[in-house]
Structure 1
């Protein structure tokens, strides 16, 4: 993929998708597109918390094993909470790199950026290292926190087989046998613990732009 450091998240997606189509086998591309279509048709985003809801508190380990609590962060200022699928998801990596570039603007508004996935801590560390992230990346093993935010969905046997065919083994990366994932979702949470902005899209290639986050802080 070309270097597009200044591009917005969703402007980068078509370019990445075109690069992907040109470099992977047609049958693998077809499997990926089938998985995406199935998730969109399920409308699972309707279960997610929205604006005005109270953000559930949590205590989770970061990539180095230190515990991070939402309520402690909120005592210092607003929190931007980004749920992503895992280090294996290229669209998640595009999003996290874009958020890293926006980090100085987020911090200038006295806010903290945090990312969460169901990966084991080693997977969180991989995410931090490969994307050169300077914000906390937390492990929500078992999707317990993502469940409270209404993001978790079950992968059926057909989708599971498609993932395994693409060499995505969630049992290995997430350390459980549930074959559940969170929908990618980004929440801006005020110091009062109320969600001020929520973005959860059924198409996992669509992510909240950094500019929208900054405008909400």
Structure 2
């Protein structure tokens, strides 16, 4: 199947060529600032994953203990349905959803967007895995992967109709790093991909290789 890396690069190249400077400059500046993200607090391989109880796309509570009872889990965080890079990543995982299932692994996506937003993501991309609302990024914060976006991006989000306070239910202007974790049935983190640069994402094939090594 097609890797997502070239798709991500193509979207960013299109943005770089076609976006007006008034939009491109602050976005590129904020992206560059992610190199200063303090990664020391990000959950590490060998640590115990905190438990969670989060709502799915139809408002039903899903808890990590019940998911772990089925076997290993892959948790992948995305910023929101408004993010084109996130959409590529979620579609990429969907292409391999049957393989994750066949390997006995539960694939779960987490986002700060409220259930109506996660339902949109699920339906638009025909996702066969759970998408959970991490309200106010509370769970992502426990994993050390929350980034507060610069205030000068707010007018740009408004210009493009991305109403994050409405989508997320708060005005924090915070998003998770697009991190992906493999957690074994005992709740121990076995692999972590946590790249601050949101244009870069782990390949689903790489995550399947992680599982092969369990």
Which stretches of structure 1, 4 residues or more, deviate above 4 A after TM superposition? none
- When the two structures are superposed, what TM-score results if normalisation uses the length of structure 1? 0.90
Match of 1:43 in 2: 37
Alignment coverage as a number of residue pairs: 211
Please say if residues 182 and 210 of structure 2, whose CA atoms lie closer than 8 Å, have aligned partners that are also in contact.
yes
Matched position secondary structure for 1:143: helix
- How far does the alpha carbon of each residue in 1:139-168 deviate from its partner, in whole angstroms, 9 at most, with x for none? 111111111111112234334444444443
> What RMSD, in angstroms, separates the aligned Cα atoms of the two structures?
1.6
Distance 1:132 1:22, change over 3 A: farther
- When the two structures are superposed, what TM-score results if normalisation uses the length of structure 2? 0.92
2:178 to 178, 181, 184: 184
1:71 to 51, 65, 71: 65
Tell me, which stretches of 5 or more residues in structure 1 are unaligned?
A: 1-5
Match of 2:111 in 1: 117
- How far does the alpha carbon of each residue in 1:7-47 deviate from its partner, in whole angstroms, 9 at most, with x for none? 2122221112223344443432333222211222x223332
- How far does the alpha carbon of each residue in 1:42-73 deviate from its partner, in whole angstroms, 9 at most, with x for none? 22333210111111110111101111111111
Tell me, which stretches of 5 or more residues in structure 2 are unaligned?
A: none
Please say if residues 39 and 202 of structure 1, whose CA atoms lie closer than 8 Å, have aligned partners that are also in contact.
yes
2:13 to 13, 18, 24: 18
The separation in 2 between residues aligned to 1:95 and 1:163, in whole angstroms, is 21
Task: After TM superposition, give the deviation of residue 94 of structure 1 in Å.
Answer: 0.4
- How far does the alpha carbon of each residue in 1:56-99 deviate from its partner, in whole angstroms, 9 at most, with x for none? 11011110111111111111111000011000010000000000
Moved more, 19-28 or 71-80: 19-28
Matched position secondary structure for 1:97: helix
Please say if residues 145 and 179 of structure 2, whose CA atoms lie closer than 8 Å, have aligned partners that are also in contact.
yes
